[in-house]
């Protein structure tokens, strides 16, 4: 199933992060319609919102609110994922994102996790996302959508499900905590 989908991770920890993600949601859907067509934008599956502890970055930064969106199937002629990344970065900037310290606090973070079967290893974009299998704040929302979902990963061996990937992670940081549904984010 992931071969015909794309996934985007959403996160924020400055201002009102839940309100930011709720506000960006329709704009992200419009962005997907512009990039991949209206049918793609209508086939979005959204995770619930999760509160998560920061991973890496400066100490004492606020907790994050994270979510994931999986959309697909992709159009037969999938547009360039680089163009999608540029649109995601422009959306971050529209919400006031200024790239500074790595893994530092942010108003909005949008990460392209995978885009169909595309494999890229470029300075600006790696697909699938190189740390996808190591991030509870991504895997937990993906598991809320579908625990049997198998993100693209290594070559050769069958891809593990998000539930299997979560089970492999050591509980170094507190587990993401699911937030209650809210207007604009009913999941």
Q: Annotated active-site positions, please?
A: 97, 106, 109, 111
**Residue 67: phi, psi to the nearest 5?**
-155, 170
Q: Would you put residue 58 in left (φ > 0), alpha (ψ -120 to 50) or beta? A: beta
> How deeply is 172 buried, as exposed, middle or buried, from its count of CB atoms within 10 A (0-12, 13-18, 19+)?
exposed
Handedness of CA 46, 47, 49, 53 (dihedral sign): negative
Q: How far apart are CA 167 and CA 34, in angstroms?
A: 37
Q: How far apart are CA 41 and CA 39, in angstroms?
A: 5
């Amino acid at each position: 199933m992931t071969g015909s989908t794309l996934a985007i991770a959403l996160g924020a920890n400055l201002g009102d992060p839940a309100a930011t993600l709720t506000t960006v949601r329709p704009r992200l859907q419009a962005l997907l319609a512009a990039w991949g067509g209206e049918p793609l934008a209508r086939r979005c599956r959204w995770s619930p919102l999760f509160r998560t502890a920061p991973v890496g970055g400066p100490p004492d930064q606020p907790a994050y609110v994270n979510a994931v969106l999986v959309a697909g199937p992709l159009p037969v002629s999938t547009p360039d994922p680089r163009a999608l990344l540029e649109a995601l970065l422009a959306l971050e900037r529209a919400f006031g994102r200024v790239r500074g310290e790595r893994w530092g606090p942010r108003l909005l973070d949008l990460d392209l996790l995978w885009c169909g079967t595309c494999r890229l290893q470029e300075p600006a974009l790696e697909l699938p996302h190189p740390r996808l299998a190591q991030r509870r704040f991504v895997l937990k929302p993906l598991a809320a959508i579908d625990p049997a979902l198998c993100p693209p990963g290594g070559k050769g061996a069958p891809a593990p499900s998000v539930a299997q990937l979560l089970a492999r992670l050591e509980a170094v940081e507190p587990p993401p905590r699911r937030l209650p549904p809210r207007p604009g984010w009913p999941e």
